[in-house]
Amino acid sequence: MFSSHVNLRKSKTTVFKNSSIYILLGDQAFTNGFQGLVCAKDMNLKVVYIICNNGRSVSLTKQTVHDSDLQLDNYGGAQLNKFLCNSKSMDYVQIACALNINSTKIDFSKNTEDKVKELRMAFENARKINGPTVIELIISDDYEIWDGVWALEGLDSVRR
């Protein structure tokens, strides 16, 4: 998240004083980089984490299906999901709350028109907070919706 050669204590007062940093990342990326949120809390940085939670690792799912020449539906979904889906006990808003961080969850998997207003309000609230905020967006878990993202065509020549 931050370069290791930057003095954050000094930078915080000059660079981040009146600014907000917006970080858009997937649920798996957040899980792997959770320590950044802890740092933002410890340093009281105005960072807004926007976590797109589709419940799985899209990139790894696509790679697994592509590399194995198997279809997701006939792979024995439970076996694949065991390793590529989020833990059922992982709740990003509860994690933020445990750190006393402002947070909200918006379910975009259904009825998205009303949810845009909720998202706008979440951004407005985040601007008022002097410290980090977590906005979790629940999005579709259909990995085909990401067609063209993490494209795997053309990699056949490097395949094992």
Which strands, in side-by-side order, build the sheet including 47-53? 21-26, 47-53, 133-138, 102-107
In order, the DSSP letters of 95-131 are HHHHTT-EEEEEE-SS-HHHHHHHHHHHHHHHHH-SS
Of the options 3.90.79.10, 3.40.50.970, 3.30.70.270, 3.40.50.300, the CATH number for the domain spanning 8-58+91-139: 3.40.50.970
Most confident region among 17-31, 33-47, 82-96 by mean pLDDT: 33-47
Q: Regarding predicted confidence, which is higher, 141 or 33?
A: 33
Q: Provide the residue ranges of all domains of the chain, joining segments of one domain with +.
A: 8-58+91-139
Beta strands in the chain (DSSP E): 21-26, 47-53, 102-107, 133-138
pTM of the predicted model, to two decimals? 0.72
**pLDDT band, very low/low/confident/very high, at 87 (cuts 50, 70, 90):** confident
Find the mean pLDDT for residues 78-95: 76
* pLDDT of amino acid 45: 93
